């Protein structure tokens, strides 16, 4: 089994957040969502992986196109882009849009099954 590419979390599914210094919408996301992301079902299914848009793309990541806007959230499986959300539309819209991306993934169904088994 090959090791995960340097810089990419070992989880099969990750949410890459492309950000840059001075991005007001990145700061809003960091204030509103960042602290709770790791404790949510979404964060459990797709751990966050931060990428500075102004630096070279980490090795092992394949995108449909390089992000232009920040923040841009890219759902990656084994480093390959599956889906993306450009911008941060605010907390209420963010959860629905990210949820729509994750609901299409098998890990989400497994998360739902695991939560149902605990109830």
Distance, in Å, from the CA atom of 78 to the CA atom of 82, rounded to the nearest integer, reads 10
Structure confidence at residue 117 (pLDDT) = 42
Structure confidence at residue 2 (pLDDT) = 39
Structure confidence at residue 74 (pLDDT) = 99
Residue positions counted in the chain: 119
Structure confidence at residue 3 (pLDDT) = 38
Strand 80-86 to strand 72-77: parallel, antiparallel, or no bridges (unpaired)?
A: antiparallel
What is the DSSP secondary-structure string of the chain? -PPPPTTS-SSSEEEEEEE-TT-HHHHHHHHHTTTTGGGSHHHHHS-EEEEETTSPPPTT-B-SS---SSSEEEEEETTEEEEEEES---HHHHHHHHHHHHHTSHHHHHHHHHHHHH-
Structure confidence at residue 1 (pLDDT) = 34
Q: Which fold has domain 13-118?
A: Glutaredoxin (3.40.30)
Q: Which residues contact 119 (CB under 8 A, 6 or more apart)?
A: none
**pTM summary value:** 0.84
Structure confidence at residue 110 (pLDDT) = 79
Ordered per-residue pLDDT tens for the chain, 119 residues: 333 444 444 448 999 999 999 999 999 999 999 999 999 999 999 999 999 999 999 999 999 999 999 999 999 999 999 999 999 999 999 999 999 999 999 988 877 666 554 44
């Amino acid at each position: 089994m090959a090791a995960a590419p340097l810089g990419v979390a070992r989880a099969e599914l990750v949410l890459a957040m492309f950000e840059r210094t001075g991005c007001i919408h990145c700061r809003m996301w960091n204030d509103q969502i960042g602290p709770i992301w790791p404790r949510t079902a979404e964060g459990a299914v797709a751990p966050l992986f931060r990428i500075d848009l102004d630096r070279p793309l980490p090795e092992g990541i394949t995108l449909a196109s390089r992000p232009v806007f920040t923040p841009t959230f890219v759902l990656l499986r084994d480093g390959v882009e599956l889906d993306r959300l450009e911008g941060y539309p605010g907390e209420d819209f963010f959860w629905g849009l990210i949820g729509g991306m994750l609901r299409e993934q098998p890990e989400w169904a497994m998360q739902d099954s695991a939560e149902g088994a605990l109830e």
